[in-house]
Amino acid sequence: MSGGDLNMNGQLPDFNRTVLVTGGSGFIGSHLVCLLVDRHPDWRTINLDDLDYCCSRRSLESVEDRANYTFIRGDVCNSQLVNHIFDTENIDVIFHLAAKTHVESSFETPAAFQRVNVDGTRVLLGAAHQARHRPQRFVYVSTDEVYGAGLDRVFDESSPVRPSNPYSATKAAAEYLVRSYWDKYKFPIIITRSNNIYGPRQFTEKVIPRFLTLLQMNRKCTIQGTLPQSRHFLFVDDAIDAFLLVLEKGILGEIYNVGTSCEIPILQLARELVKTVKNVPDSEVNDWLEFVPDRPHVDLRYPISCEKLQQLGWRAEVSWAEGIRRTVKWYRDNADFWLDA
Ligand SMILES: NC(=O)c1ccc[n+]([C@@H]2O[C@H](COP(=O)([O-])OP(=O)(O)OC[C@H]3O[C@@H](n4cnc5c(N)ncnc54)[C@H](O)[C@@H]3O)[C@@H](O)[C@H]2O)c1
């Protein structure tokens, strides 16, 4: 355990709220933790993360010595550890993000995905539900991928769930576990299902950082398959705002889509990044693209409606132009960040 400065009496200062973030060292989790620690000095933020290959300690450098931040290195599947956290801390809010997240790896090691994403959620839920200090909110951060592909139809929160890869299947299974605690115990859960989130510090296996780092290494962007895949991209700050809004205003037991109308074909994304990073004319863009075979099954697109979240007052504030500008700049300024990975 680290962080959390003691006061003059050798005790932790009093806090109004204690928030447990699982997976707080990962891409989205680290943005969430930094924002919580900065914006809420009167809240204590605890990050439980086992530091999997996809995260860097540097992501949380700016908060690691702060009095209202505590890091616990550990596995969310370790029931002894997780029970101990709930026995010894008065956890008011849980943001559960810890997960295995790479779709292609999920076909190679589905058992690992099942263990972390499903068993980990079961362990955390059980401990939170049994805790003597009853949490006010358990926010489970899920994904639009649970809907499966939507060619013509737009998914709302009541649409059927049809996951089509081991990653999304385990996220859907975990959602059902989370919902069962609402159905049976009225345990105060909320589920979010978000589009693809992008921004600084995302590990290089995901599409935007993958293209950016390949180009920075003077290598071509690899485009999988020939089908017209596209994704909706939401800037990480907007996603975090949505998570914090559902924490305060979301209705218990409900699911909220978190999305954007910014749909970009993957080929167009690659072209745009080639032009920005390589500064080449249109005629030379194709020199930086390479087409490779597809994964076993690929969902072409995931269009979702966010009306329910918008009714709470949320709007995506960061345009694609601004979000990608900030992201490209960060990868340019921090070219060595993922070097060891
Ligand atoms: N990135 C996206 O586009 C996106 C979209 C929708 C939902 N989500 C969900 O948001 C959450 C975070 O995604 P991300 O993109 O930040 O992923 P990430 O892979 O960057 O981070 C996952 C984090 O979980 C931690 N972790 C993994 N196994 C663990 C274990 N056994 N115990 C404790 N910690 C463990 C990792 O160390 C890492 O810090 C995930 O639940 C993901 O399903 C992500």
pLDDT tens digit sequence for 304-339: 999 999 999 999 999 999 999 999 999 999 999 998
- Alpha carbons within 13 A on the beta-carbon side of 39: 10
Please give the pLDDT value at position 292.
86
Active site residues: 144-145, 167
pLDDT band at 229 (very low <50, low <70, confident <90, very high): confident
- Give distance in angstroms: CA of 341 to centre of ligand 1: 16
Please give the pLDDT value at position 150.
75
Task: Using most ligand atoms within 8 A of CB, pick from 97, 144, 196, 327 the residue to mutate for ligand 1.
Answer: 97
Contact 48, 22 (CB under 8 A): yes
The mean pLDDT value for 132-152 works out to 93
Instruction: Determine phi and psi for 170, rounding to 5 degrees.
Output: -75, -30
Nearest residue CA, atom 21 of ligand 1? Answer: 26
pLDDT band at 8 (very low <50, low <70, confident <90, very high): low
Please give the pLDDT value at position 225.
74
- Give distance in angstroms: CA of 272 to centre of ligand 1: 27
Whether pLDDT at 13 is above 60:
yes
What amino acid is encoded at 227 in this protein? L
Rounded-to-integer distance, Cα 212 and Cα 316, Å = 24
Contact 113, 40 (CB under 8 A): no
DSSP 157: T
Query: Which residue has better confidence, 103 or 298?
Result: 103
| Closest atom, ligand 1, to C-alpha of 98 | 24
Mean of pLDDT over the chain: 93
Nearest residue CA, atom 31 of ligand 1? Answer: 75
Rounded-to-integer distance, Cα 250 and Cα 237, Å = 18
- Alpha carbons within 13 A on the beta-carbon side of 54: 21
- Give distance in angstroms: CA of 98 to centre of ligand 1: 5
Whether pLDDT at 133 is above 80:
yes
Please give the pLDDT value at position 211.
96
Task: Using most ligand atoms within 8 A of CB, pick from 22, 27, 201 the residue to mutate for ligand 1.
Answer: 27
Ligand 1 site residues (CB inside 6 A) read 22-23, 25-29, 49-52, 54-55, 75-77, 97-101, 116, 120, 141, 143, 171, 194, 196-197, 203
| Other beta carbons within 10 Å of 119 | 16
Contact 117, 43 (CB under 8 A): no
- Give distance in angstroms: CA of 286 to centre of ligand 1: 33
Whether pLDDT at 167 is above 70:
yes
- Alpha carbons within 13 A on the beta-carbon side of 332: 10
The mean pLDDT value for 223-229 works out to 77
Please give the pLDDT value at position 315.
96
Which range has the worst mean pLDDT, 3-17, 31-45, 83-97? 3-17
Q: Are strands 189-194 and 69-73 parallel, antiparallel or unpaired?
A: unpaired
pLDDT band at 297 (very low <50, low <70, confident <90, very high): low
Rounded-to-integer distance, Cα 212 and Cα 205, Å = 11
Task: Using most ligand atoms within 8 A of CB, pick from 48, 54, 257 the residue to mutate for ligand 1.
Answer: 54
Token pair recorded at residue 74: 């550990």
Instruction: Determine phi and psi for 187, rounding to 5 degrees.
Output: -65, 135
The mean pLDDT value for 83-87 works out to 98
Which range has the worst mean pLDDT, 24-28, 162-166, 289-293? 289-293
- Give distance in angstroms: CA of 211 to centre of ligand 1: 20
Please give the pLDDT value at position 151.
74
Largest interatomic CA distance in the chain? 68
Whether pLDDT at 6 is above 70:
no
| Closest atom, ligand 1, to C-alpha of 142 | 7
Instruction: Name the packing angle between helices 27-39 and 236-249 (round to 10°).
Output: 60
| Closest atom, ligand 1, to C-alpha of 258 | 6
The mean pLDDT value for 118-137 works out to 98
Kindly list the distances between the CA atom of residue 79 and the CA atoms of 83, 140, 154, 237, in Å, as whole numbers in the listed order: 6, 18, 39, 32
The mean pLDDT value for 260-282 works out to 93
The mean pLDDT value for 50-65 works out to 95
Nearest residue CA, atom 39 of ligand 1? Answer: 26
The mean pLDDT value for 54-73 works out to 96
Contact 164, 297 (CB under 8 A): yes
Strand partners, 46: 20, 70
Angle at 210 between CA 143 and CA 73, to 5 degrees: 60
- Alpha carbons within 13 A on the beta-carbon side of 337: 24
- Give distance in angstroms: CA of 64 to centre of ligand 1: 19
Rounded-to-integer distance, Cα 229 and Cα 137, Å = 36
The mean pLDDT value for 120-145 works out to 97
Token pair recorded at residue 98: 């810890």
- Using alpha carbons, select from 260, 251, 107 the residue that is nearest to residue 188: 251
